[in-house]
A and B are shown apart, each in its own frame.
Chain A
Amino acid sequence: MFKKPNLYRGLACVFAFLLIMSLLASSVLEENRTMVDQTFKTNSQLIVSEKDDGSLYTAFIPDSDFLTDGKLDMAKDEAVHKALATRIQEEGSVLLKNENKALPLAAGTKITVLGNRGYSAAGGGRGGATVTPVAGMEQAGLVVNPVVKEIYGGLRISNPSPGWASNKTLDFQYDPSETAPQKLEDANADYKESFKEYSGAAIVVLGRGNGEGADYRPGAEGVKEGVGSRNALALSTNERDLLSVAKQNFDKVIVLISTVSPMELGELQDDPEIDSIMWIGHTATFGAYGLGNLLAGKANPSGGLYDTYARNSMSSPAMRNMGHYELSNADQIVRQDTSSVGTRGTDPGFTHYVIEAESIYVGYRYYETRYYDAVFGQGNASVKTDSTGIYEDSKSGWNYAEEVVYSFGYGLSYTTFEKTIENVTWDKSAHEQIAHVTVKVTNTGSVAGKTSVQIYGQAPYTDYDKKNLVEKSAVQLLNFEKTDVIQPGQSVTVTVDADLQNLASYDEFGAKTYIMENSDQYYFAVGNGAHDALNNILAAQGKTTSDGMDYNGNAKAAVKWTYDTARNGTVDAFTFSLSKAGVEITNQLKYSDWNDYEPGKVKMLSRQDWAGTFPKTYENMTAPALMVQHYSGKVIDYHTKENPDSADALAAVKFDQKTDLKFADMKGAAFDDYRWPEVVDAMSLEETVLFAIKSGRGFAAIDSLNFPIGSYAENGPGTPVWVTEETKNPAPWGISKPEGSYTLGTFPAFCVVGCTFSPEIAHEYGRILANDAILGGKPMMWLPGANTHRTPYNGRSEQYYSEDPVLTGVITMEAAMGAIAKGGIVTAKHFAFNDQEMHRSGVGTFMTEQRAREVELRAFQIPFEASKYDTAEKDAGMLGVMTSFSKLGGIECTVNEGLLSGILAGEWNYNGYIVSDLKDDLDLMPQAFLAGLGGYDWRTESDDIDPYKDVEFFRYDAELLKAMKEVCHQKMYVFANSSFMNTVNTSTHTVWNMTWWRMAYIVGIAASAALTLIALVLYAIAAAKNNKKERD
């Protein structure tokens, strides 16, 4: 049976198999070489500049606080990150309640910390050390009960979240997993004995996790059986029992709330046995040091809340339409290709929708406006709108005090401040669109401290508005500043510039642009949060508690103001109809509203009649034919091989033109530099298409321009990056870690940064991230998140700052500008409407254009227009943006021409890099480029452009080719103005490096091929011999 020829035949088969496996290894390794390099600490490709003309590493250099003698000093690096994280936590934690001056605690106070989250740092980072709240307290000089600490140390604590780590199926139910007191007793029956010695205070740390990929599910069905709470954001039985232990055994009970998903804190606020409540968000790396300083009185709280904390987290109108809604005719929706992650995602969403019938009334815009109308007795505001008991906590009639626990912007200090408006100036003769609001701030307490100066505005709700369905919030944040430390008794004046654009309203149905009205009924106010500011406005309008207010406001903290520039009639539809770039603003978002497809189908919430228009839940909606077409991805027509553009049109699009220019010659070039067309026309069709498409971690090379292939983007904080040290042209500042890796710094959750209300901190945040980018060699950062929080249940709130677009926008702008000044390509995400994670991969978010512009898009508009920094010398606009997985209405954001070309590139004059999220909507690629998208988050580095066979696919549409060439222009402009230029000169090119794994597969291929051949030859010889023998 075993003959010689068979042996060779068998060996040939085995070697052939090994040959194919070696080829497989080569494909897999090369396609993922960045990740492979990261894992094996290798450098498979080097960016090499043959000539050193002195321009390398001169574009952007790290700041001196990272360096010693010109070299990276990791101790200094850590100190910089630690100092900012500590400061963010000190100024971003929010003191919500502080009876009997329970806080701060004296140094050396012996305390007992209860609750899982006291012993494990929450959120914020993918790498680097994390410091637990208890460690932060100890660092600040508080003495923590060691007996209880030991018990928690033995519990192997994890903080569950609804994100990646959870089950994403629709039956996901949450359990905060707080340890029951009985378990503490089981671990140590006498643990309460230790309370006697550590009786200075009980600090109970409660919280919720938060994460990308899934939401909390609203209502009782979103909570695991036996948890004992009415929904995921209400206190559980274990949490209440833990509080009982604290209240029964300690005179002083302090509760720390570690969450970014607004929990229901009403019972804590009402409980006289709970002395203090402090919101701390997620402290992540180093933030706990700031927390310790606050508790020990080494720092004074000055943060304000990022979101409204409602008594019932289900009570906002947005909660009536949040979750799982699939079109009843989903089977009619056919996408060309659903294999790309963006359309598959974590749960397919391209047949789902959510109706945002709450209109502009998100967060405090709802609660405060309804309160205002209730005080005035208008719009049926006091009529209960929930008969189920699920959504409202008001006992009889709608009552603000029964609905809201802590308002947006609210926060206490260890001292007290009085804030009054001194004056408002506005030079209308200069056509200025900024009102300068000067506020006098006096420290009326006994401790030094900082405070935020939040300026709110109120526009009158007029008959014109009612006729044209313009909605207006009774109060809205216009801008803010933060004071320096103010000593007791000291007064300072702070001037805050309020952009009137943020007070103007988008009139979608009447003027079809932004309007202001000739009226003397505008108000500016300062206050401790939105509610306080509104009460101050009400006080200025003569209202008191006898009119139904919950407390009397301070009329000196509000100012009545007149707007009177309307040219004709009472409505000024001109002044704000031009963007800061001078582009006409008009309706761009057709099909964002279900009513655009089926007029009158959806009733939007209106102040005209709160009770009558309060949203119902829109379930089982049937998409009309045009919506089916849009959902199926048929939005923009384009030419293909079967239906090509005219030959003349195609011939007019030039490729492969001669030039002496190299990419490096464009260092620092303006977007409209006259040389760009020459540079772009020099690229071949293949270079153009690949460079346009591949916009993620793997960027394609442009050999004709000496633009090197590489991985230039990272997710920002916490991402470890592998730094090339073996390059011929190493950075002069070097990397001191022996293994050559560098972890981008981590900071407390984005919400905590928002709560600082500090433009200065945000700017410093951006500066440090950009330094990280220079040191890590990754100029592109996919952050910050500039979406707004629609509901408390969004799993991804941690990555976004606030429910308010102005707070979000200003903090984003400052962080971006801090980074841009150091050559960082900040890529704000997710443009736009990532309003829920459930079915996020394609969910259609339906809303009015007014809502889209005033709530969602304003948060992006502020950093993108960045007028504060736009100077004659430098166009300081943003350089990057990432689109969302969502649809706006029936149209994917990636192919929404009005959104990308009309508003982003048009009105906001944006010229930078626009990348999709995670290969989203690959099947719509030609339409996306025509709509204005600038490429895809491409995770691999092969030339495979699946699902398109090759670059030839794109050569039949002249407009598509022009769009792709323009994308190349935009991307090169962005790189040319970034720290990327540190590593590029005219002689730069990519060199492949022989790593051990590359050597291994090459040897594998060569050896197995050779052995296969030898075995086949030996088989042939042996078989021939055999045959001869048989013949003989």
Chain B
Amino acid sequence: MAENTRKLTVPAWFVAAGAAIGVLALLVALISCTGEGFGMKELPMVALLTLAAVLLCAGILLIARSRGDNVFVTVMVFLMVIALAFCVYQMIMGKSDVFGTVLFSDLEKGYAPAERATWLGVVSIVMYMAATLVTAIGAFCTLSKKA
């Protein structure tokens, strides 16, 4: 195992960190949707995309370790960035209603469940953006020490 991981470069762990942050972002998103009436129809899609990002990440690390940083890794990194970016998209679209009422009106000012749904939503979106960014940074670098 240790030998295997030594075959990966530090930026490869950026990609892994992107997936990990994505998972954490999903957990925050789930919590933000728990309040009665604060569900989000986009949530299953967000979960699916996050799962896809995690699987892609696993694939990236596996291939990078065993076969080096090749075109398959590139395709998967590209798709992983797209998956995480679409999570940002879905989260913002899904939360736009509650953002609108809490951040741009007095409609639910002071109402704790609404504010929790909003601010946890913001945190989740920021985390997905960070995940995308970290993964994209990784994409600039070689992910495997194997030639």
Pairing of A with B: yes
Q: What residues make up the interface of A, taking CB atoms closer than 8 Å to B?
A: 1-3, 5-7, 9-10, 12-14, 16-17, 20-21, 23-24, 27-28, 31-32, 164-169, 213, 338-339, 341, 343-348, 939, 946-947, 1016, 1019, 1023, 1030
Residues of chain A within 8 A (CB-CB) of B37 are 338-339, 343-345, 348
For B89, B101, B111, the residue with the greatest tally of chain A CB atoms inside 10 Å of its CB is: B111
Which of B71, B77, B110, B140 is A7 in contact with, Cβ under 8 Å? B140
Secondary structure dominating the interface of A: helix
**With A9-B78, A10-B136 as given contacts, are A164 and B40 in contact (CB-CB < 8 Å)?**
no
> In the complex, A305→B143 CA distance in Å?
79
| Interchain CB contact under 8 A, A348 and B142 | no
B133 to chain A, nearest CB (A): 8
The A-contacting residues of B in range 83-99, CB under 8 angstroms, are: 85-86, 88-89, 92-93, 96-97
The yes or no answer to B112 lying at the interface (CB within 8 A) is yes
| Interchain CB contact under 8 A, A9 and B139 | yes
| Interchain CB contact under 8 A, B92 and A13 | no
**With A17-B81, A169-B110, A346-B111 as given contacts, are A23 and B89 in contact (CB-CB < 8 Å)?**
yes
**Can you name 13 A-B pairs with beta carbons within 8 Å?**
A1-B9, A6-B69, A6-B140, A9-B74, A12-B78, A13-B78, A13-B81, A16-B81, A16-B85, A20-B82, A168-B110, A213-B106, A339-B40
B131 to chain A, nearest CB (A): 11
The yes or no answer to B135 lying at the interface (CB within 8 A) is yes
Residues of chain A within 8 A (CB-CB) of B137 are 10
Q: Which residue of A lies closest to B135 (CB)?
A: A13
> In the complex, A169→B137 CA distance in Å?
44
B18 to chain A, nearest CB (A): 10
B-side interface residues, number (CB < 8 Å): 42
Q: What residues make up the interface of B, taking CB atoms closer than 8 Å to A?
A: 9, 11, 36-41, 69, 71, 74, 77-78, 81-82, 85-86, 88-89, 92-93, 96-97, 100-101, 106-112, 114, 132, 135-137, 139-142, 147
Which of A2, A16, A24 is B78 in contact with, Cβ under 8 Å? A16
> In the complex, A348→B78 CA distance in Å?
43
| Interchain CB contact under 8 A, B139 and A10 | yes
| Interchain CB contact under 8 A, B109 and A10 | no
Given contacts A10-B136, A10-B141, A165-B109, 6 further A-B contacts (CB under 8 A): A2-B142, A13-B78, A13-B81, A16-B81, A17-B81, A338-B39
A631 to chain B, nearest CB (A): 14
For A17, A947, A1023, the residue with the greatest tally of chain B CB atoms inside 10 Å of its CB is: A17
Which of B38, B86, B109 is A20 in contact with, Cβ under 8 Å? B86
| Interchain CB contact under 8 A, B36 and A348 | yes
| Interchain CB contact under 8 A, B107 and A339 | no
Residues of chain B within 8 A (CB-CB) of A166 are 110
For A2, A5, A339, the residue with the greatest tally of chain B CB atoms inside 10 Å of its CB is: A339
B8 to chain A, nearest CB (A): 12
Residues of chain B within 8 A (CB-CB) of A1030 are 147
| Interchain CB contact under 8 A, B140 and A10 | yes
**With A169-B112, A347-B111 as given contacts, are A946 and B41 in contact (CB-CB < 8 Å)?**
yes
B1 to chain A, nearest CB (A): 23
Q: Which 10 A-B pairs have the closest CB atoms?
A: A344-B37, A10-B140, A164-B106, A13-B81, A20-B85, A13-B136, A167-B110, A338-B37, A10-B139, A13-B139
Residues of chain A within 8 A (CB-CB) of B9 are 1
Residues of chain B within 8 A (CB-CB) of A2 are 140-142
Q: Which residue of A lies closest to B143 (CB)?
A: A6
Residues of chain B within 8 A (CB-CB) of A7 are 140
Q: What total of A-B pairs shows CB separation below 8 Å? A: 112
Residues of chain A within 8 A (CB-CB) of B93 are 24, 27-28
A624 to chain B, nearest CB (A): 23
Residues of chain B within 8 A (CB-CB) of A344 are 36-38, 114
| Interchain CB contact under 8 A, A165 and B141 | no
Residues of chain B within 8 A (CB-CB) of A939 are 100
Which of A5, A24, A346 is B92 in contact with, Cβ under 8 Å? A24
Q: Which residue of A lies closest to B74 (CB)?
A: A9
**With A13-B136, A166-B110 as given contacts, are A1 and B142 in contact (CB-CB < 8 Å)?**
yes
> In the complex, A2→B141 CA distance in Å?
5
> In the complex, A21→B92 CA distance in Å?
10
| Interchain CB contact under 8 A, B142 and A3 | yes
Q: Which residue of B lies closest to A164 (CB)?
A: B106
| Interchain CB contact under 8 A, B111 and A168 | yes
Q: Which residue of A lies closest to B82 (CB)?
A: A16
> In the complex, A939→B99 CA distance in Å?
14
| Interchain CB contact under 8 A, B36 and A28 | no
| Interchain CB contact under 8 A, B39 and A21 | no
Residues of chain A within 8 A (CB-CB) of B132 are 17
For B36, B132, B135, the residue with the greatest tally of chain A CB atoms inside 10 Å of its CB is: B36
Residues of chain B within 8 A (CB-CB) of A343 are 37
> In the complex, A923→B112 CA distance in Å?
24
> In the complex, A13→B132 CA distance in Å?
9
A710 to chain B, nearest CB (A): 20
For A12, A13, A1016, the residue with the greatest tally of chain B CB atoms inside 10 Å of its CB is: A13
| Interchain CB contact under 8 A, B89 and A24 | yes
**With A9-B139, A13-B139, A213-B107 as given contacts, are A21 and B88 in contact (CB-CB < 8 Å)?**
yes
Which of A13, A167, A339 is B77 in contact with, Cβ under 8 Å? A13
Residues of chain B within 8 A (CB-CB) of A348 are 36-37
Residues of chain A within 8 A (CB-CB) of B89 are 20-21, 23-24
> In the complex, A165→B86 CA distance in Å?
35
A211 to chain B, nearest CB (A): 9
**With A1-B9, A164-B106, A341-B97 as given contacts, are A21 and B74 in contact (CB-CB < 8 Å)?**
no
> In the complex, A957→B70 CA distance in Å?
56
B28 to chain A, nearest CB (A): 19
Residues of chain B within 8 A (CB-CB) of A20 are 82, 85-86, 88-89
> In the complex, A165→B108 CA distance in Å?
9
Q: Which residue of B lies closest to A169 (CB)?
A: B112
Residues of chain A within 8 A (CB-CB) of B96 are 28, 31
Residues of chain B within 8 A (CB-CB) of A345 are 37
> In the complex, A10→B37 CA distance in Å?
40
B70 to chain A, nearest CB (A): 8
Residues of chain A within 8 A (CB-CB) of B85 are 16-17, 20-21
| Interchain CB contact under 8 A, A1023 and B41 | no
Residues of chain A within 8 A (CB-CB) of B101 are 341
Residues of chain A within 8 A (CB-CB) of B110 are 165-169
**With A16-B82, A339-B37 as given contacts, are A6 and B142 in contact (CB-CB < 8 Å)?**
yes
Q: Which residue of B lies closest to A1016 (CB)?
A: B78
| Interchain CB contact under 8 A, A164 and B107 | yes
B49 to chain A, nearest CB (A): 11
> In the complex, A213→B114 CA distance in Å?
14
> In the complex, A347→B35 CA distance in Å?
11
Residues of chain A within 8 A (CB-CB) of B11 are 1
> In the complex, A1008→B127 CA distance in Å?
22
Which of B39, B82, B114, B140 is A9 in contact with, Cβ under 8 Å? B140
Residues of chain B within 8 A (CB-CB) of A165 are 106, 109-110
B85 to chain A, nearest CB (A): 4
Q: Which residue of B lies closest to A944 (CB)?
A: B93
**With A16-B82, A167-B110, A339-B38 as given contacts, are A1019 and B140 in contact (CB-CB < 8 Å)?**
no
Which of B77, B109, B140, B142 is A164 in contact with, Cβ under 8 Å? B109
| Interchain CB contact under 8 A, A6 and B139 | yes
A79 to chain B, nearest CB (A): 31
Residues of chain A within 8 A (CB-CB) of B77 are 9, 13
Q: Which residue of A lies closest to B110 (CB)?
A: A167
Residues of chain A within 8 A (CB-CB) of B82 are 16-17, 20
Residues of chain A within 8 A (CB-CB) of B136 are 10, 13-14, 17
| Interchain CB contact under 8 A, B39 and A339 | yes
Q: Which residue of A lies closest to B104 (CB)?
A: A35
A834 to chain B, nearest CB (A): 16
A164 to chain B, nearest CB (A): 4
